[in-house]
Homo-oligomer: A and B are copies of this chain.
Amino acid sequence: MDTGLPNAAGVSRYAQLAQELRQRIVGGEWAAGAAIPAETELAERFGVALGTVRQAVAMLAAEGIVQRVHGKGTFVTQGLNGPSLLRFFRFRGPTDEPPTARVHRCQTVRLRAAEALALGQQTGDAALRVKRVRLLAGRPVLAEDLLLPLARFEALRALPTREWEDLLYPMLARLCGVTVARANDELSFGHLDAATAALLDLPEGAPAIRVDRQAFDLGGHCIELRTTWGDATAFHYSAEMR
C-alpha cells in the first residue's frame, strides 16, 4: 500500500483520492498522454475500495484531466494543441494547409490588477506579452495578444521570436512543462483599431469578432489570457441545443 490517504473532515473519500491523483498528475508522476495505473492497482496502492477509485477517476475525467479509452485504460490528457480559435471562422481558400504563426513582439510587462487576479498572480508581477499573427496559406487571418505569467514561462523570455513554434500549447508543454487542459473562450463583436487592422490587412474600423480566452493547466490554474481578433465577415459558429 502507498502512503494512504489522510483524513480530511467533510471531504468524501473519493474526493480525497481525486485530489491525491490530481497532485501526482500535476507534479508529473504520470506525464501528459501516459496511462495512469489500473483501477485495481490504485485501489490496492491507496487502500480504498474499487468503487472509490472509480468515482475519483470519474471526477478527474469530468474535469478533463484524464480521458478514459474504452478497453485500453485511463490516460492523462494530452492537452489542447489544435488551431482551435480558427473554429470560430470560415476563411476562404485552401483549408488543408495547417495555420502558421508569426510572433511580432514579446515583451516583459507588469500585470495590472485585473490581469493578476485572473492569473492568480500579484499586481505588478512580471509577465510576457506576446503579439502574434496566425496565417493560413501565408495570409494573416487572426491577430492575437497573449499574456503569460513569467513565473511559469521563464524559459520563453530568451527565445528569439523567430523560434516560436506554430502551435503554442505543445511548445509550452515541451519548454515549460505546462499542459493546457482546457480553455474558455468569450466571443463578442467590435471594430479593429489601426494597429490590429494593419496586421490583418483590413481597413481600420472593420467589423471583427473578438475572442477573450482563459486557458487552464491540469491543476486548474489560469496560465494564459489571450485576446484574438478576426474578420467578422468570416465568422461562423455552430451550437447545438437540447
Question: Which secondary structure dominates where chain A touches chain B?
Answer: strand
Q: Which of B80, B187, B189, B236 contacts A233 (CB under 8 A)?
A: B189
Interface residue count on the A side (C-beta < 8 Å): 25
B187 touches A241 (CB 8 A): no
A185 touches B80 (CB 8 A): no
A186 interfacial contact with B, CB 8 Å: yes
Closest to A236 in B: B188
Bound Cα distance from A209 to B187, whole angstroms: 12
Bound Cα distance from A183 to B236, whole angstroms: 17
A186 touches B232 (CB 8 A): no
Q: Which residues of A contact B (CB under 8 A)?
A: 64, 77, 80, 84, 181-189, 207, 209, 232-233, 235-242
- Nearest 6 CB-CB pairings of A with B: A64-B242, A182-B242, A189-B232, A187-B237, A189-B235, A185-B239
